[in-house]
Structure 1
Amino acid sequence: MSRTNTFTLLAACIAAASPAVAAEPASKVVALPSIAISERRDASADLTSSSETGSRLGLTALETPGSVSSLSAEQIQQRSNLTVQDAVTRTPGITSIGTPGDGGTGLSARGFNGHGSVMTLLDGARLYTGAGTQTFPVDPWLVERIEVLRGPASVLYGEGATGAVVNVIPKKPLQGEIHNQLRLGYGSWDRQQLGLDSGGSLSERLSYRATINQQQGNGYIDRGDSRNLALSLALRFDASEDLSFTLAHERGDAEPMNYFGTPLIAGHYRDSLRDKNYNVRDAELRYHDEWTRLSSEWAISDNVSASNQLYYIKSRRHWRNAENYNWDADVGQLLRNGFLEIKHNQEQIGDRQSFAFQHSLFGLASTTVVGAEYNRIRFRLTNNWPYNDIGNDYIDPWQPAPGQFASATPLQPRSFSTTHSAALFAENRTQLTEQLSLVTGIRRDQNHIERDNLIDGSRTDRSLSGGNWRAGLVYALTPDLSLYGQYSTSEDGVENLVSLSSAQMNFDLTEARQTELGVKQRFLDGRGEWTLAAYHIVKKKLLVDDPVSHQPQQAGQQTSDGLEATLELALANQWQLSANAALLRAKYDDFNESVAGVATDRSGKRPANVPRRSANLWLSKGFSQDVDAGVGLRYVDTRYADTGNSQSIPSYTVVDANLGWQVLPDVRLGLQLNNLLNRNYVTAAYSGEQWLLGAPRSYFATLDYSF
């Protein structure tokens, strides 16, 4: 979408919020959320608030036998988070492993990596990941809340959720007087932002929410330009007091920085290469995503309700880059290679129907949810793999010539797959005593994959079925203190289901099981809370190399053991503290990897991109009703870049800060400072010889106008 069209759409949204429309009668007035700091914590993160992600039973975090975190839009904005992934990694035990290959959105949780084990949802709907890549949602301006459920969650969302599930909940229609928020922002490297958030009632039964955000900048490396446009539109119709419909559409157009990492020279990082870009001049990195949903909520009676969500998802992605830069000591230069071009064309249509019942079970109060879900996913892969680079492209590390994309292999369609996924699920909570409750769940999935090889015309198909369950007990010692324990199972594909190769389709789903114990408590009249969780996860049927035949087989196993703790505290004089920490021991129990055709035992090694320790801290202070400030710390321990644990990624600690000033009742100024100490730190290893570096110290100033 061009900038002219963006401004036209902004003008249309503002016009829609004119006083004539705002004058419609409404039963109550709901303004957009304020970001002022108070002495009480944000209710959206409270343990007594309902969580949509931990279960479909409407349970609070205190009632859920699992580890659930929630971040509100206010918290995300206050804590200088540039992306959804930045925000998510401020929750316990979640770290970023994003690279251009996975859309920059890959996460690690409880020892398991990537979109094949850490699932991302938008408003509860799952985009099936193709070829390890997911490119939406990433813009926090569209977000009302982010919820994270850590640990196996296939019983709720199907295969691909062994490490965690991240549910990004977009801003919803508001009932009441129309309210608008306009944001203008400017910062380091000519970063610019223009955003609008508008919502309210159009009539007694019709309400809306329109959100748009455009950002662009020059980037912190040479030729690091980027552009992003995110749009969210939602219209809610209350047909009656018991029945409502919401039609929503989200769109993202992204052109991220074409940065594939800073090369190591003889295995060592050099500060003098910090801002260099080694990609080619005509590189391409473009993502286009659209999600359309029609949701309905129906209270059939006092004890029976129904919900449905019908959705259509479309993704188009294009890469054309020189991705590898390897130091050649004999020549004294970098060999630039990996001239790879890829296109993804993905479409998904799905529907989820569920019914909730309040009833009695053997004389005990009980709630049951039953439902069904269906998805059809079409995925077309076009690339030039296996690529054949033209010649040896040597470049000077300190003065790299941009050059041009040079591959002798043509870009052509490689495969087309259609995946059908159907599931039946059920959950129940039964109050065994006044203090003890039992929460159970079961799910049965049936996946059928049809794959056409567009090169040789061959066709393969495979059905993969799965079944998962969980059972948990929650004991409420007091209304504000709960102990819980749970056992749950989960499944992942050996790779993403929709893009399995013909060889990978011969394998079963991997299997995981988890045992978790925890405690959760609110104290100081709700101004503080803390949680502690301990878990043990075993994942089986990993692909390993057969030492005799050197063919892959499903005989591997990985275990993860860990502790996670959180503390939220609101003190007198407008002090507020948020802290969490995670300790993790993850290792392969049985894993043979083929290295140069030789089976190499990796048993006892830690999986790549998995830190043993991580922690977050955010301390904020309100100096009056108009001024507030905050400072935060993010720590990630040393990780390995390979399964052999021979290449390590250094640990890092990054400090961020912010300052806010409510100049007028309708005008707020903000200042975000990222990487305050200007540390050089590695967010992920693109390969053993390239590090993706985080941004240097930067500022971003914002002006918010509410009207």
Structure 2
Amino acid sequence: MSTIYPVPDFSGARRHVFPSVPSHRLLAGLSCSLGVLMASQALAQTADMSGASRQSASPATTRQTLPTISVHDRRQDPNGLLRMDTANSTGSRLGLTERETPASVTVIDRETIEARGARTTHDVLNELPGVHASATHGDVNVTQRGFRGASINQVYNGINLQYSIATQPVDAWIYERVEDIGGPSSFLYGAGGVGATINYITKTAQRHDISEVQLGAGTRRYRQAAFGLNRRLAGDGSGQKDHYVRIDANHERGGQWADDNRGHSSQIVTSLLSDLGGGFTHTLAYEYQHERDYRPYWGTPVIQPAEGRQSVLERLRYKNYNSADGLYMQRVQWLRSMADWKLSDALSVKNTFYGYDAVRDYRNVEEYALDSTNTQVNRTSALLQRHDHRVFGDRIDATLRSAIAGHRSDWSFGVDVSFNRQTTYPAYASDDWESAVDPDHFVTEYFYDLPGMVSTYVPKNRHRVDNLAFYLENRTDLTPTLKLLTGLRHERIKLHFSSLDPEEVKRDGKRSYHPTTGRIGLTWDISPQTMVYAQYATAADPAAGNLASTYYSQILANDRLTTGRMLELGTKISFWGNRGSATLSVYDISRRNIATNDPRDRRVTYLIGRQDARGVEAKLGLQLTPAWSMQANVGYVDAEYKQFYRRGESLAGKTPSNVPRTVTNLWTSYALTPELKLQAGARHVTRLYGNENDTIWWPSYTVADVGFEYRFSPTVTLSGFVNNVTDRLYATESQPDMVVLGDPRSAWLTVKVAF
């Protein structure tokens, strides 16, 4: 019997922090963690007992390698040099820097986020080379290297939620940095990621004091208040029995530009870092996000007939055709327990136990199209929906510094187990419902007045994805300048779909997948300033949709995952007396087994499709003078279907929709005085195809931003930004009958005080 939930105003939703966790799984995760730690202790004791003989047998292991320390002035201009010698956690689990990794890796750190005025995570994404990001609350569209959707992994602190809607843009205040690795990365983060993996790193407690407050205000009644605090609770700072706590909070409201669209959001992250002695540290982190968006914007209808180049009526730019009480709400909670144990100089173990709990509610009319005379807007797709999503898991990582035949050889290996659960509650208006309104003068209905719409959430579909993965990574010094990097991951995935609709026949669908993916890469340090690399990597991702939201019909069709492979060559250099830095990569990616229709019967699906992408990514950083700096990146891709049918039509040679061929970013800044710095940026995106056969498109566009920063003192900074300074009308996503417009000109000021 299905459970029926009355539609609440979020305060009425079920709210335990992480309810209904099977006790045997909790115990299994904790027992697994304890078992690994005990085994690691035994390994450490064995290593200590045999240390003398090992040192005598291999002189290479006797040398002590001090950790790399990257020191820079906190006032260093983020628009200057590329920081290639800072370790990142996304391109490898071995703690490699961007320069050491045989892949295109980009890190947008906290300082850069603030300097460029990136307010949301999608603002940050659009700074990455070759990345194009657009989002409504029902669709998160991120493309890189010619791929989008489930082919782009978006992970949080290395945790893959396997669901694109979970990557809704939020305020960037709570994130320390965003890291990106281009190309296949399933061997690191699991199924998905043939195009790229983007990793959002949350702020956590540090071993130093932080006190900061930021207040902001801008156009369309935008307001922000945020603070961060990091303090030592106990101990003397020696690293023994020290405890540090951190809390960061942010609240903002306003800033929406569509008519009658308004909203607010809040985020809180807090963590406790404990040094417990004996090389053992533990971090407990909790994160809370809440967002409420009233009458959200879903798109703008294009002028008919919708063929060739798309355009919109200028006077409709700000119109909002959603229901009068349209709504999007989300509440997200994260809990992470991270234990690090350095058993010796050579061996360390990390265990991460995590839980994720999210509820998202929708009540909206989401699709609009002008009629053939452009005199009325036809409104369709009225949807009441809830997503109840939970993920629990445990990941164990170990790193070992060793030597093989006198050559340094570092290892990373581990186990990752996760349980992904999602229940959806879709409800639609009557099948024949359609509303026609005047494009300029209209009043829309209240959502629950729609025919056939009921104000209850009834569970209709349940998805369960269980995953057990084993992975291994190695980096071996073949010579002092030649390094070999290899990685391998094997997964055991079980997918189960259940239909809960009381008005339909019960249907269950099950699939099991056992992908094995990997990478082999070679780096050559031609000089301390120049390296070149080559890598071959493979990936696996769902043939259609996300595993955590796959429809019953897709489960029947997806009897196996797609296979992806990539060959990449690149170089990373510093030049001009270390006042210039650059990276360049060329790649060739092929994704096979895409779900495609039978050309003779569109109701039949085969996994025989193929998509290829070839391209170039480049980054450049220049410190032209002590006062003037510049950074730029560009991504070019030639993406096309090689074998693909949709509704009986071959799409071979066509470009996937909403995949721009070229994305270019440029930033520059100039310090007029030690206190005052001016900056400007520009972004160019080529045309976006709005359908699968490339007959309609939104033209290329360029958007420019300007800003300034004035330091009243070392602790007080005033910043101002104007985005889309020319008020360019442009679209970030194209659909056959409507487009998602980008933000019009907006301005805001922020005051940040550190104390």
How high is the TM-score relative to the length of structure 1?
0.91
Aligned pairs (5 A) from 1:122-133: 122-129=156-163, 132-133=164-165
1:9 alignment counterpart: none
Q: Which secondary structure does the structure 2 equivalent of 1:155 belong to?
A: helix
Question: Which residue among 404, 409, 412 is the counterpart of 2:458?
Answer: 412
Query: Is 1:365 paired with 2:408?
Result: yes
1:146 alignment counterpart: 178
Q: Is the 8 A contact 1:151 1:514 kept in 2?
A: yes
Counterparts of 1:36 and 1:355, CA distance in 2 = 36
2:199 alignment counterpart: 167
Query: Is 1:688 paired with 2:736?
Result: yes
2:596 alignment counterpart: 544
Query: Is 1:554 paired with 2:607?
Result: yes
Counterparts of 1:523 and 1:331, CA distance in 2 = 57
Question: Which residue among 498, 501, 508 is the counterpart of 2:551?
Answer: 501
Amino acid at match of 2:332: D
Amino acid at match of 1:683: T
Provide Cα deviations, 1:98-128, integer angstroms capped at 9, x if missing partner.
22212xx4310101012x1111122112222
Distance 1:706 1:66, change over 3 A: same
Query: Is 1:96 paired with 2:133?
Result: yes
Displacement of 1:330 in angstroms is 5.9
Provide Cα deviations, 1:294-348, integer angstroms capped at 9, x if missing partner.
1111111111111111100011111111111122236931111111111100111
Aligned pairs (5 A) from 1:210-249: 210-217=247-254, 219-240=256-277, 242-249=279-286
Displacement of 1:404 in angstroms is 2.1
Question: Which residue among 28, 36, 43 is the counterpart of 2:75?
Answer: 36
Question: Which residue among 193, 218, 229 is the counterpart of 1:198?
Answer: 229
Displacement of 1:275 in angstroms is 1.1
1:51 alignment counterpart: 88
Distance 1:631 1:537, change over 3 A: same
2:148 alignment counterpart: 113
Counterparts of 2:578 and 2:170, CA distance in 1 = 32
Counterparts of 2:230 and 2:576, CA distance in 1 = 35
2:530 alignment counterpart: 481
1:702 alignment counterpart: 750
Amino acid at match of 2:473: E
Q: Is the 8 A contact 1:110 1:151 kept in 2?
A: yes
Q: Is the 8 A contact 2:161 2:420 kept in 1?
A: no
Question: Which residue among 179, 183, 188 is the counterpart of 2:219?
Answer: 188
Distance 1:345 1:537, change over 3 A: same
Q: Is the 8 A contact 2:590 2:612 kept in 1?
A: yes
Question: Which residue among 661, 685, 702 is the counterpart of 1:636?
Answer: 685
Counterparts of 1:365 and 1:66, CA distance in 2 = 21
1:28 alignment counterpart: none
Counterparts of 2:752 and 2:601, CA distance in 1 = 64
Displacement of 1:41 in angstroms is 4.7
Counterparts of 1:256 and 1:640, CA distance in 2 = 29
Q: Which secondary structure does the structure 1 equivalent of 2:460 belong to?
A: strand
Q: Is the 8 A contact 2:720 2:749 kept in 1?
A: yes
Displacement of 1:407 in angstroms is 4.3
Q: Is the 8 A contact 2:303 2:374 kept in 1?
A: no
Aligned pairs (5 A) from 1:523-534: 523-534=575-586
Provide Cα deviations, 1:120-176, integer angstroms capped at 9, x if missing partner.
1221122221xx412456221111111100100001111111111111111221223
> What is the aligned-residue identity percentage?
30
Counterparts of 2:373 and 2:582, CA distance in 1 = 57
Question: Which residue among 695, 701, 716 is the counterpart of 1:652?
Answer: 701
1:22 alignment counterpart: none
Counterparts of 1:191 and 1:563, CA distance in 2 = 38
Counterparts of 2:420 and 2:76, CA distance in 1 = 44
Displacement of 1:91 in angstroms is 1.4
1:324 alignment counterpart: 367
Question: Which residue among 514, 518, 527 is the counterpart of 1:465?
Answer: 514
Unaligned stretches of 5+ in structure 2?
1-8, 12-71, 236-241
Counterparts of 2:374 and 2:317, CA distance in 1 = 22
Distance 1:360 1:573, change over 3 A: closer
Distance 1:122 1:392, change over 3 A: closer
Distance 1:391 1:504, change over 3 A: closer
Q: Is the 8 A contact 1:40 1:527 kept in 2?
A: no
2:378 alignment counterpart: 335
Counterparts of 1:256 and 1:585, CA distance in 2 = 37
Provide Cα deviations, 1:644-698, integer angstroms capped at 9, x if missing partner.
101101211111111111113332111111111111111112x311111111111
Counterparts of 2:488 and 2:176, CA distance in 1 = 29
Unaligned stretches of 5+ in structure 1?
4-32
Displacement of 1:539 in angstroms is 0.4
1:25 alignment counterpart: none
Question: Which residue among 609, 634, 638 is the counterpart of 1:585?
Answer: 638
Q: Is the 8 A contact 1:218 1:224 kept in 2?
A: no
Q: Is the 8 A contact 1:97 1:609 kept in 2?
A: no
Displacement of 1:409 in angstroms is 5.1
1:662 alignment counterpart: 711
Query: What do you get for the CA RMSD once the two structures are aligned?
Result: 2.0
Counterparts of 1:603 and 1:160, CA distance in 2 = 23
Amino acid at match of 1:564: E
Amino acid at match of 2:170: V
Q: Is the 8 A contact 2:281 2:340 kept in 1?
A: yes
How high is the TM-score relative to the length of structure 2?
0.85
Amino acid at match of 1:126: N
1:395 alignment counterpart: 437
Distance 1:646 1:137, change over 3 A: closer
Q: Is the 8 A contact 1:576 1:619 kept in 2?
A: yes
Q: Which moved more, 1:147-156 or 1:353-362?
A: 353-362
Displacement of 1:182 in angstroms is 0.9
Amino acid at match of 1:397: P
Question: Which residue among 119, 137, 142 is the counterpart of 1:82?
Answer: 119
Provide Cα deviations, 1:7-61, integer angstroms capped at 9, x if missing partner.
xxxxxxxxxxxxxxxxxxxxxxxxxx9863459957xx51111111000011111
Q: Which secondary structure does the structure 2 equivalent of 1:498 belong to?
A: helix
Counterparts of 2:475 and 2:373, CA distance in 1 = 67
Distance 1:87 1:463, change over 3 A: same
Distance 1:329 1:642, change over 3 A: closer
Displacement of 1:97 in angstroms is 3.1
Q: Is the 8 A contact 1:122 1:137 kept in 2?
A: no
Displacement of 1:623 in angstroms is 2.2
Counterparts of 1:39 and 1:58, CA distance in 2 = 22
